[in-house]
A = this chain, B = another copy of it.
Amino acid sequence: MNRFQLVQQIKGKRSFLCVGLDTDITKIPKHLQSHANAIFEFNKSIIDATKDHCVAYKINTAFYEALGVKGWEAMEQTVDYIPKTHFTIADAKRGDIGNTSSQYAKAFFETLNFDSITVAPYMGEDSIRPFMEYENKFVIVLGLTSNKGAKDFELQKMGDEFLYEKVISKVAEWGTPENLMFVVGATQSSELSNIRKLVPDHFLLVPGVGFQGGSLKEVSEHGLNKDCGLLVNASRAIIYASEDESFADEAKIIAQQYQQEMNGYLNF
């Protein structure tokens, strides 16, 4: 999917919601846990229930890898099941020397047909470039994350800037808004206006709304640009909205609530 198509999706649905499929076998409803393919069955129901209200799905690879081969199979089935109208994100936090990052790009852009992947910036340019070589695919580089540990390095000063500012400015030189996005945690929404000055046109993937305490209103105020420019992710608040057989209906209700709130913030 390219940037234009993503923006069209957002305009059509008046939503910039991304549903995070951090599917944990121990947290899905009891009646599904014994199913031979429980993770995929759960995801299918969540996707069917939420697809009208969101524009993207984010698969957190850790939860699938924890189950080994079976989990990797469920990830493959899930990404295949997501409608082609929706933007797909492998939340994989990869990144290695060039020839290894090329293999990760192959894994997530060819073997698995994701539209994008999250990548950690620590190893620099040649760890990120291989992901930029694919047409209509995006690398989503960690800028400022939503966790406590952001203070350890990301929010430390490197010269006059915070490390995360240095990362965003530098990485932005290597890509364009057509192949590059950044992760910016919602719990740091006061920093969003600042980040918008550094990258006015790029999309930002914003996790941390909901369970992690970020405010959708603040994120929208500080982060929206003329093409929306935001994908706000909610995982646990949607997928674990209910523990019983009505889980998909409840997920739909919460996704719709997000969509309606987003509709009010969009400036087009």
**Chain A: residues with CB nearer than 8 A to chain B?**
22, 24, 60, 62-63, 65-69, 71-73, 76, 91, 93-98, 100-101, 103-104, 106-108, 110-112, 120-128, 142, 145-154, 156-159, 163, 166-167, 170, 212
Other contacts beyond A60-B96, A60-B100, A153-B170: 4, CB < 8 A: A24-B103, A124-B149, A127-B149, A128-B149
- Assess the B66–A107 pair: CB atoms within 8 A: yes
Using known A-B contacts A94-B93, A120-B93, determine if residue A68 contacts B152 with beta carbons closer than 8 Å: no
Bound Cα distance from A63 to B128, whole angstroms: 17
By a CB distance below 8 angstroms, the chain B residues around A122 are 120-122, 142, 145, 153-154
By a CB distance below 8 angstroms, the chain B residues around A106 are 66
By a CB distance below 8 angstroms, the chain B residues around A73 are 69
By a CB distance below 8 angstroms, the chain B residues around A98 are 147
Bound Cα distance from A142 to B96, whole angstroms: 10
- Assess the A111–B152 pair: CB atoms within 8 A: no
11 A-B Cβ contacts within 8 A? A62-B107, A63-B103, A65-B111, A69-B76, A72-B72, A93-B94, A123-B142, A125-B148, A125-B149, A153-B166, A156-B166
Q: Which listed residue (B91, B100, B149) contacts A123, Cβ 8 A?
A: B149
- Assess the A163–B153 pair: CB atoms within 8 A: yes
- Shortest CB-to-CB span from A186 to chain B, Å, is 12
Using known A-B contacts A103-B66, A107-B65, A158-B156, determine if residue A123 contacts B150 with beta carbons closer than 8 Å: yes
Using known A-B contacts A62-B100, A100-B62, A153-B166, determine if residue A68 contacts B125 with beta carbons closer than 8 Å: no
- Shortest CB-to-CB span from A241 to chain B, Å, is 18
By a CB distance below 8 angstroms, the chain B residues around A156 are 158-159, 166
- Shortest CB-to-CB span from A111 to chain B, Å, is 4
Bound Cα distance from A212 to B96, whole angstroms: 14
Q: Which listed residue (B22, B62, B100, B158) contacts A158, Cβ 8 A?
A: B158
- Shortest CB-to-CB span from A244 to chain B, Å, is 23
- Shortest CB-to-CB span from A173 to chain B, Å, is 10
By a CB distance below 8 angstroms, the chain B residues around A108 are 65
**Which 4 A-B pairs rank lowest in CB-CB distance, beginning with the nearest?**
A124-B149, A124-B152, A62-B103, A65-B107
